[in-house]
Amino acid sequence: FPEMLSNPRLIPVQGALNVVMNQNVSLSCHSDSGTPPVRYTLFKHNQKISTLNRPDLTPGLFNLTINSASDVGEYKCKAENNISGGGKYSNSLNFTLKEPISKPMLSSPTSQAKEGQNVTLSCLSENGSLPITYMFFKGRKSISPPVKMQKREAAVIFLFMNSSSDFGTYKCRAENSFRNNTKYSNSFNFTLAEERSHSQPLIISLGLILLLFIVGFALAIPFFIIPSYKASE
């Protein structure tokens, strides 16, 4: 007697849902029971991609190429035979695009600081699949535990410039699940800000007073010399 199809199962042939750009993938859609022939249809985001006909209960194999970010997302398949009515739908599969990270940028609101001052460092890779793990270094020494960011946001650390040894060159490192893809940032240097001497404003004030005294004295000379000269005549 004719038998309705069971719900098909959609699985990746390679077994992995993490893909890279331009990768070829195969999806298998298979109903274990039901009366053949069977028609399998693959959907992506509810849009029909391809249809295969099978004379028996062998799986329908769909070959895809991941050419862009729009090729990842939710996939489903539908199985139909002559008595299945509207057909039976499979589970959903979601591909995740693995993208190598770009060189991270290390930055800070200031490049000069005083001893005893708090400063911040930010590290961000603009491109690359998430999550991204960041680490901060001074020279070759790590100064932070790994910071894993699940969003496209900068990792930030706070530093206390306790002594002259805290000034110098800093870097950060970024990595994700893309194999052999660790990137280091540009170098960032903190320099010691020159502190203005407390005596400098006093010296400037005294200089201005002396200058005003000299100008005033020069202007007053005619009023003293001319009357005394006339008196002597």
Q: 101-143, pLDDT tens digit by residue?
A: 999 999 999 988 888 899 999 999 999 988 999 999 999 999 9
125 in Cβ contact with 174 (< 8 Å): yes
129 in Cβ contact with 96 (< 8 Å): yes
183 in Cβ contact with 173 (< 8 Å): yes
The confidence score (pLDDT) of residue 200 equals 54
88-89 and 74-80: which strand pairing? antiparallel
119 in Cβ contact with 111 (< 8 Å): no
User: Which CATH number, 2.60.40.10, 3.40.50.150, 3.30.70.990, 2.60.40.1730, labels domain 105-192?
Assistant: 2.60.40.10
The confidence score (pLDDT) of residue 199 equals 46
The confidence score (pLDDT) of residue 72 equals 87
Domain boundaries, the chain: 8-97, 105-192
User: Which CATH number, 1.25.40.420, 3.40.630.10, 3.40.50.2300, 2.60.40.10, labels domain 8-97?
Assistant: 2.60.40.10
Low-confidence ranges of the chain (pLDDT < 70): 84, 195-207, 213, 215-217, 219-233
Instruction: In whole angstroms, give the CA distance from residue 226 to residue 109.
Output: 64
Task: Encode pLDDT of 12-25 as tens digits.
Answer: 998 788 888 889 99
- Evaluate whether 8-97 and 105-192 have a shared fold: yes
The confidence score (pLDDT) of residue 232 equals 54
